[in-house]
Amino acid sequence: MKIVLFLLAAASVFAQAGRTLTAEQIALNVASFDKVWSTVRDKHWEKNPGGLDWNAIREEYRPRVEKAATMEQARAAMSGMLARLKQTHFGILPAGGYSEVGSPTGSGWTGIDLRVIGDQAVVKSVDAGSPAARKGVKPGWIVVSVDGRELAPLIAKLRKMDEQSRELMLYRPVQARLSGAPGSTAKIAFLDGGSKPVTVEIERVDAKGEWASFGYLGAMPVSLETRRLGNSGYVALNIFLDPGRVMPKFGDFISSCRDCDGIVIDLRGNPGGIGAMAMGMAGWFVDKAGLRLGTMFMRDNELKFVIFPRAEPFAGPVAILVDGASASTSEILAGGLKDIGRAKVFGTRTAAAALPSSIEQLPNGDGFQYAQANYISEGGKPLEGLGVIPDVVAPLTREALLAGGDPALDEALKWIRTQEKKTK
């Protein structure tokens, strides 16, 4: 499955003001419209995409592109046509627009993981031993600006995005503001635990994790964290990539944790990746053959996400942590294990963005993202547009972070201890 890059779709909202188009540019826009329309016609999983008369849709929107005097008008016409599908993963991505909403400017990392809570960028965690940790940055602090650029205007822009994927749209562009070249220094203005202004200069270092690439996407760091929390196992994965390294490490940890009273799998902030990895991971928690996480439906066939049990799976309680930035493969794993009764989910509703998608360049230079399949969970519900609803809703709050807590993790560990008592 291709990675769900919803953060790219944010660019379509913030295209730069355009100039009057030349005849050549108009022709390129019309050719781009034709490619978008025909791609949906030929590759959508429904023969009548979205239940619509797709030929009639073409007759309605093509004249708007032909008459468009600016790039914004042409993009608006194509985006309006795609909006009629009422499905995510269909969008026009303006050439160069991604940088406007905060693309990473380098692979350098400060050790800070942010979340947008309300209208503020709040430090969710600080990696132990990282430059930020050495500078005394604490969870719960508010990031006001990075290198003189305030985050409030960026958050306000991103808030205009579609409601169901808003947290996913917010997370990565805001987090990207902390990036830069390794060895460079980030000058970050905070409000500390007492809401007093504090400015700290933090060196950026190489990002945590091993770098991996997938398909046409560039390299990105893949981090799998494993540790014990008391007698419970804890696994956190930032993205479903690099299966050759991640899957053996994941399996080794589960095998080493057979005496654990439970396992916590933290998928918060994980945007997805290779779908097959979800099937492999799920196999460590079931002992019955024939179970599935769900089914992906394409136009001419379907793919069942069958779970193949391991010889000695973990039999104890499994808790999965998710939030609004958990998407795609994260939703498939969490929703699938929840549906078969093998895991309990904690946190907040996921991004509702489970469909596999591709991004292609159009004749006019813009990008076009489109989905090729629909996914139905084993419980019979589409994850797209609905997401995974946690069994225990535990939203992150600044107050909890300042107190050293983590609501979703705390609730998950509490539940695991309860299950342990029931089996005694």
Write the pLDDT tens digit of every residue in 94-119. Answer: 875 444 444 556 789 999 999 999 89
| Confidence check: pLDDT of 267 > 50 | yes
At residue 162, the pLDDT reads 53
Q: What is the CATH number that goes with domain 101-206?
A: 2.30.42.10
Residue 89 contacts residue 353 (beta carbons within 8 Å): yes
Work out the percent of the chain whose per-residue pLDDT is above 70: 89
Q: What is the mean pLDDT of the chain?
A: 88
At residue 389, the pLDDT reads 94
Average pLDDT over residues 253-279: 94
Instruction: Report the predicted TM-score, pTM, of the whole model to 2 decimal places.
Output: 0.82
Domain spanning 17-93, CATH architecture = 2-Layer Sandwich (3.30)
Type of residue found at 104:
P
At residue 86, the pLDDT reads 85
Split at pLDDT 50, 70, 90, the class of 395 is very high
At residue 3, the pLDDT reads 37
Q: Which of 28-42, 123-137, 151-165, 219-233 has the lowest mean pLDDT?
A: 151-165
| Confidence check: pLDDT of 8 > 50 | no
| Confidence check: pLDDT of 197 > 50 | yes
Give dist(CA 356, CA 342) in Å, integer: 25
| Confidence check: pLDDT of 348 > 80 | yes
Give dist(CA 263, CA 276) in Å, integer: 21
pLDDT tens column, 169-180: 788 889 999 999
At residue 101, the pLDDT reads 46
Which is higher by pLDDT, 6 or 405? 405
Domain locations in the chain as residue ranges:
17-93, 101-206, 222-351+387-416
At residue 424, the pLDDT reads 39
Give dist(CA 272, CA 292) in Å, integer: 18
At residue 422, the pLDDT reads 52
Split at pLDDT 50, 70, 90, the class of 4 is very low
| Confidence check: pLDDT of 393 > 70 | yes
Matching residue, tokens 């509702």: 352
At residue 420, the pLDDT reads 63
At residue 220, the pLDDT reads 83
Which is higher by pLDDT, 40 or 100? 40
| Confidence check: pLDDT of 16 > 70 | no
At residue 230, the pLDDT reads 95
Type of residue found at 127:
D
Which among 107, 109, 111 has a CA at the least distance from the CA of 136?
Answer: 111
At residue 353, the pLDDT reads 79
Which among 112, 156, 166, 161 has a CA at the least distance from the CA of 134?
Answer: 112
Give dist(CA 349, CA 44) in Å, integer: 26
Give dist(CA 257, CA 184) in Å, integer: 40
Average pLDDT over residues 25-30: 96
Which 3 state secondary structure label does DSSP give 38? Answer: helix
Which 3 state secondary structure label does DSSP give 262? Answer: strand
At residue 93, the pLDDT reads 82
- Report which secondary-structure segment, H or E, holds 122: strand 120-126
Average pLDDT over residues 205-214: 85
At residue 161, the pLDDT reads 57
Per-range mean pLDDT, top range of 86-95, 245-254, 381-390: 245-254
Matching residue, tokens 């994941």: 250
- The CATH homologous superfamily of the domain defined by 222-351+387-416: 2-enoyl-CoA Hydratase; Chain A, domain 1 (3.90.226.10)
At residue 351, the pLDDT reads 87
Give dist(CA 20, CA 69) in Å, integer: 5
pLDDT tens column, 113-169: 999 998 999 999 999 999 999 999 999 999 999 999 999 998 888 777 555 557 877
Average pLDDT over residues 310-336: 94
